[in-house]
A and B are shown apart, each in its own frame.
Chain A
Amino acid sequence: MSRVSFNCTMQEGQIGEELRAKLAVALQQITEDVLGESPDDVPVTFSNIPSGFGFRGGEPSTTSLVRGSIVGGVTQEVREDLMRRICDRWMEISGCTVDELVVSARDV
C-alpha cells in the first residue's frame, strides 16, 4: 500500500485532459520533495463533477479539490508545506486562482 495518495476532483470543463498528466507529475514531485516518497509510489486519480452538479456558495462551482491521504500522518508544519506547494504548483499549471482550489492532506 502506498503511504501517500491523491484524489483530484474537478468541475467538468475547467481543466483539460492534457493538463492532468502534468498535475499528476507535479503532485508526485512535490510529495518526493517534502516527504521523500518515490513518485512511482504516489498514486494520483482524477474524477470529474459534471456540469450542473457542483456548486459553491450556492452558485455553479469552478473549484477543484485535491485530497491527499497520508498513512501514518505528518506534523502540521510538514502538512502545511505540502499543501502550500501543491496550491502554488496547481495554480501555475492549471491557471486557476487561489479561490478555485481546495487542498487537503489528511492523516489516515
Chain B
Amino acid sequence: MPYYRCVVPKDSVPYEQRAAVAKAFTDIHCGNTGAPRSFVHVVFDEADDRWDTPYFLDGGNRAGRSEEVKAELLSDLMSAFREITGVASDDFSGRITEGPAKWTMEGGMVLPEPGEETEEWYSHGQAAAGG
C-alpha cells in the first residue's frame, strides 16, 4: 500500500488542489510501478510536525524496488506537488521509506513483494477501484 502523507501548513492547500495532487500521485505511482490505482493512498495532514521545510512529503512503500525507480518516483511526486500547489522548491522536501510487503494486509490479502504480484491481486485491485 503506497501511503503518501503530505504534511502542510493549516489552510494552505485548498480541496481542489488536494484532490488534484491525490490524482497526480496516483497516476505517477501507478505509472512508475504498475500497481493498481486502488492501492494508492494520499493523505493531507495539517500537523505540527517539525520538518526542515513547511511542506513535507512522507511516503511509505513496499520494499524491493530499484534505487532508480524509487528516485524517479520521489522526483515525479515532488514535481507534481509543486506544480499543482505553487509551493516553492525551498519550502518542500520529502522522503519515501519502505517496509516489507508481507507486514500489510489490504483487501483481505497479504501484499505481494514488488515483482511477485499475481493476476488475482491485480484483479482484486481493479475490482476495488470499481473498474
Interface residue count for B (Cβ, 8 Å)? 32
Within the complex, the shortest CB–CB distance from B55 to chain A, in Å, comes to: 15
Residues on A with beta carbons closer than 8 Å to the beta carbon of B99 = 106
Interface residue count for A (Cβ, 8 Å)? 27
Within the complex, the shortest CB–CB distance from B23 to chain A, in Å, comes to: 4
Are A99 and B103 within 8 A (Cβ)? no
Task: Pick from B33-41, B72-80, B81-89 the stretch touching chain A.
Answer: B33-41
Are B108 and A56 within 8 A (Cβ)? no
Task: Pick from A20-28, A35-43, A47-55 the stretch touching chain B.
Answer: A47-55
Within the complex, the shortest CB–CB distance from B32 to chain A, in Å, comes to: 15
Residues on B with beta carbons closer than 8 Å to the beta carbon of A54 = 41-44
**Tally of contacts, chain A with chain B, CB under 8 A:** 79
- Whether A57 contacts B103 in the complex (CB less than 8 A), given A80-B110, A83-B110, comes out as no
Within the complex, the shortest CB–CB distance from B109 to chain A, in Å, comes to: 9
Are B27 and A58 within 8 A (Cβ)? yes
Within the complex, the shortest CB–CB distance from A85 to chain B, in Å, comes to: 11
19 A-B residue pairings within 8 Å (CB atoms): A52-B15, A54-B41, A55-B41, A56-B41, A56-B42, A57-B38, A57-B39, A58-B23, A63-B41, A65-B41, A83-B104, A83-B105, A84-B108, A98-B108, A99-B38, A104-B104, A104-B105, A105-B103, A106-B103
List residues of chain B with CB under 8 Å of any chain A CB: 1, 3, 15, 18-19, 22-23, 25-27, 37-46, 99, 102-108, 110, 127-129
Q: A99-B38, A99-B127 are in contact. List 18 more A-B contacts (CB 8 A).
A: A53-B43, A53-B44, A54-B41, A54-B42, A55-B23, A55-B42, A57-B37, A58-B19, A58-B42, A76-B102, A80-B110, A98-B107, A99-B128, A101-B106, A102-B41, A103-B105, A103-B106, A106-B103
